[in-house]
């Protein structure tokens, strides 16, 4: 009988220890998770600080691009290309809003989204610059091959204007 009581007490004690360890593990895990979340928020806030300080300029450029796109859309030819500055303006303004959220809350997803928008903005701008350079080169080659440039210079010389 004594053996049975001791065994029951031992089992109860063992169960209490196991329960305590389980709760301790949960508490430690929760504390570590909470601490890592706080560290992550601080890191996101620190990483987003440079862009946060420029968010006013980002919004200004975004709004200016949207207005520029709308004014392009008022002309017949501009309607074809008006969507590009409007799209760029929306990207920059959206990135400024996301970086604001990331800085204030430490939200890493807002920070990543802002970086994606800024990356897409520069990609689009880079492609547009490359297209512009190719068109300028193409125009120059066509002007040289058709004699347009030589005729233009000859007309200036015959007009008596000095272009140097």
Q: What angle do CA 36, 40, 41 make, to 5 degrees?
A: 120
- Contact assessment for residue 116 and residue 104, using Cβ atoms and an 8 Å cutoff: no
Domain ranges of the chain: 2-152
pLDDT at residue 76, as a whole number: 85
Smallest CA-to-CA distance from 88 within 63, 113, 112, 111 is with 63
Q: What is the pLDDT of residue 58?
A: 94
Confidence at residue 25, expressed as pLDDT on a 0 to 100 scale: 58
Which pLDDT score, from 0 to 100, does residue 148 have?
Answer: 77
Q: What is the pLDDT of residue 155?
A: 77
Global pTM? 0.68
The series of mean pLDDT values per 10 residues for the chain, 164 residues long, is: 54 54 55 70 88 94 95 88 94 96 92 95 94 93 79 75 60
């Amino acid at each position: 009988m004594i053996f049975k009581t001791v065994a029951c007490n031992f089992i109860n004690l063992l169960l209490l220890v196991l329960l305590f360890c389980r709760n301790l593990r949960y508490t430690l895990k929760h504390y570590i998770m909470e601490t890592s979340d706080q560290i992550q928020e601080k890191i996101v806030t620190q990483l987003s600080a440079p862009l946060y300080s420029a968010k006013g300029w980002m919004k200004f450029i975004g709004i200016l691009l949207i207005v520029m796109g709308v004014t392009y859309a008022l002309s017949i030819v501009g309607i074809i290309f008006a969507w590009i500055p409007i799209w760029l303006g929306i990207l920059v303004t959206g990135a400024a809003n996301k970086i604001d959220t990331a800085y204030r809350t430490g939200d890493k997803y807002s920070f990543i989204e802002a970086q994606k928008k800024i990356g897409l903005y520069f990609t689009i701008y880079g492609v547009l610059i490359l297209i512009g350079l190719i068109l300028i080169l193409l125009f120059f080659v066509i002007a040289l091959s058709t004699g347009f440039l030589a005729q233009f210079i000859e007309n200036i010389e015959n007009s008596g204007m000095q272009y140097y």
